[in-house]
A and B are shown apart, each in its own frame.
Chain A
Amino acid sequence: MAKQYHLENEVKKVKEIVAPQGEETPDEITLKTAPADFRFPTTNQTRHCFTRYIEYHRCVAAKGDDAPECEKFAKFYRSLCPSEWVDRWNEQRENGTFPGPL
């Protein structure tokens, strides 16, 4: 037990040498992603991604460009959709050819 305690102290010392308190350490990221959505309970999540994308743009259309409550939908669709898809949809929205209900 005493040895264990001693070891822990040693580890603390080493950690302080490696990363002193004052130095800038990268902020630990929080592990968080789009939650499971029970509208999409199956393996096929294509609609999940598409719906989140539409929800974000509808939210922005309703509440203004930088409404904080829309940001979560953006996080969800970025987590779920391949960036290639998002790029294509963004382009289609600019050209007015987006196939979804916005």
Chain B
Amino acid sequence: MIVLKWLFLTISPCDAAEPWQLGSQDAATPIMQGIIDLHHDIFFFLILILVFVLWILVRALWHFHYKENAIPQRIVHGTTIEILRTIFPSLISMFIAIPSFALLYSMDEVVVDPAITIKAIGHQWYWTYEYSDYNSSDEQSLTFDSYMIPEEDLELGQSRLLEVDNRVVVPAKTHLRIIVTSADVPHSWAVPSSGVKCDAVPGRLNQISILVQREGVYYGQCSEICGTNHAFTPIVVEAVPRKDYGSRVSNQLIPQTGEA
């Protein structure tokens, strides 16, 4: 990837699902990078175990075929092999468990103070987003609904069942706090590139912290069966440079304060 960039080839990272996609989408946050790395770490052991078990299996079938070995031996005990087959699997599960726990606990760690808070509120069947950091009263709030664009209104290049009318605009390279909740039934706010999937439960506020490392548009879908239009409740996060975010929010706030 880096080499190709040196050759001035433009590469667009994968931030939405693709046809016949097998792997994860490209990471946009350190958490997602951690998830992908953990997957690769575990896959090393997985392949190791697979090859070993297949080898033993094929060997046993070959050498202990009834024509080769008509009278089976009655061995019921072997200290060395029993010690080995206890210690090695426990070592392997330790090598898997340690990075796994490290990632798990770092995911819900509240390390730094976030710069902005965004509330994502699930509805049947759309998401409402509230930006209330700049409010000076209870009424005033930068709130908007995010509906899916129906198939017949799609423009060329837009993704079916993924595009929304109002994207969540967030600053890149900034610590974000997303408060996820629901107004009716359980939903789930998920953006694969950010490595985030958080249940939206009515009456409860769930917090997730993300740090989007690069500007881009990230697609996700509601991930908890929430009714008939569950499949038509996508999530689109647009990460913009910090200064663009500032001017966007202040531009949206000015007409509101003008009215008030």
- Please list the residues of chain B having a beta carbon within 8 angstroms of any beta carbon in chain A: 108, 110-117, 119, 121, 130, 132-135, 138, 141, 143, 171, 174, 177, 179, 181, 183, 198, 203-208, 242-243, 245-247, 249-251, 253-254
**Is A36 a contact of B253 with CB atoms below 8 Å?**
no
14 example contacts (A-B, Cβ-Cβ < 8 A) are as follows: A26-B250, A29-B249, A31-B246, A33-B177, A34-B117, A34-B177, A35-B113, A38-B110, A45-B207, A46-B203, A78-B138, A79-B117, A82-B181, A82-B183
Q: How many residues of A contact B (CB 8 A)?
A: 30
Is A65 interfacial (CB 8 A cutoff)?
no
Query: Known contacts being A33-B115, A34-B117, A36-B114, is A26 close to B204, with CB within 8 Å?
Result: no
Interface string of A36-69 (1 = CB under 8 A from B): 1010011111101100000000000000000000
Q: Which residues of B contact A94 (CB under 8 A)?
A: none
Q: Which residues of B contact A49 (CB under 8 A)?
A: 179, 205
Across the interface, A46 reaches (CB within 8 A) one of B130, B135, B205, namely B205
Q: Which residues of B contact A80 (CB under 8 A)?
A: 117, 179, 205
- Please list the residues of chain A having a beta carbon within 8 angstroms of any beta carbon in chain B: 26-29, 31-36, 38, 41-46, 48-49, 75, 78-84, 86-87, 90
**Is B115 a contact of A32 with CB atoms below 8 Å?**
yes
**Is B108 a contact of A43 with CB atoms below 8 Å?**
yes
Across the interface, B247 reaches (CB within 8 A) one of A26, A31, A32, A43, namely A26
Q: Which residues of B contact A87 (CB under 8 A)?
A: 138
Q: Closest A residue to B132 by CB, please name it.
A: A78
In angstroms, Cα B139 to Cα A90, docked, is: 11
**Is A28 a contact of B250 with CB atoms below 8 Å?**
yes
